[in-house]
Amino acid sequence: MSNRKAIGKKLRFEVFKRDKFTCQYCGAKAPDAVLHADHLHPVAKGGQNDILNLVTACESCNSGKGARLIDDGSVVERQRAQLEILEARREQLQMMLEWRDELERVKIDTVEMIADRIGERGSFMPNENGKSSIRKWLKQYSFDEVLAGVDEAFDIYMRWVGDEPDQKSWEIAFKKIPAICSIQRQSIEKPYIQKLAYTQGILRRRLRNKNGRYIKALEEMYWEWDASEAQLEESAKVCDDWQDFNRIVAAACGVVLSEESQDG
């Protein structure tokens, strides 16, 4: 009774993949040829079902070889070269996986560092939802940009009642961080943008519209009317509504508004 163990489907498939579904004796390829996983060292002479001892062979070559050992060393050398390439690929994949894991660890570390900085500035630590927000910011901005955004947001918006931190102002400061990061990045190309953002804040308070978006209009006045940052800021401090603001800035810049512009 034979003790020969059948080659499993998974192992046979790995052999075929490695050999590119090509007979290593005659070069016949699937699907034109029926392929087998052949033993380099025959089972009858102690060969094992090991990928190092298996080679892709077409049906004709496999049946003709029988239990004879291969005298031509070229097949073995080709097999060894393929295995070396395969091993190199596996090592590279392993290095890529380790690199990815290291990047994930760095992401976790940077999130915790930002959270700690927020805790230092406002006495309250971000919860898991807060940390999720930090992760989103770090996808858009660098670590240094977010850290600078934290400092500026808490410098401007954080309030204290005696020695106790005000939680509402903490929440406002926290929500302002990404907007400040955006302004800081824009200010590299547009040095005036921070001043315009400050003027926008004044307009929001004066016009009782805390979500009003005035930056685009302020930029147009800055470039098209040649309005200075100081003129825009001072006009915002005394205006009664948006039309009034337009009129004040236009007068300061010597711009004549059309009736349509004056009516808003």
Question: Six-digit token pair at 41?
Answer: 């060292």
- Residue in the block written with tokens 């005696």: 162
Predicted confidence (pLDDT) at residue 191 exceeds the cutoff of 70: yes
- For residue 126, what is the enclosing H or E element? none
Q: How far, in Å, CA of 71 to CA of 256, rounded?
A: 99
Q: How far, in Å, CA of 151 to CA of 213, rounded?
A: 24
Taken in order of first residue, the domains within the chain and their CATH numbers are: 9-71 (1.10.30.50), 99-189 (no CATH), 191-264 (no CATH)
- For residue 57, what is the enclosing H or E element? strand 54-58
Out of 40-49, 161-170, 206-215, pick the least confident. Answer: 40-49
Q: How far, in Å, CA of 61 to CA of 40, rounded?
A: 12
Higher local confidence (pLDDT), 114 or 70: 114
Burial of 223 (0-12, 13-18, 19+ CB in 10 A): exposed
pTM of the predicted model as reported, rounded to 2 decimal places: 0.47
pLDDT per residue over 242-264, tens digit each? Answer: 999 999 999 999 998 876 555 44
pLDDT per residue over 77-127, tens digit each? Answer: 666 676 676 676 666 666 666 767 776 776 778 899 999 999 999 999 999
Q: How far, in Å, CA of 130 to CA of 90, rounded?
A: 39
Contact 234, 251 (CB under 8 A): no
Find the DSSP H helices in the chain: 9-18, 59-65, 73-122, 128-140, 143-157, 167-189, 193-206, 215-224, 229-238, 242-253, 259-263
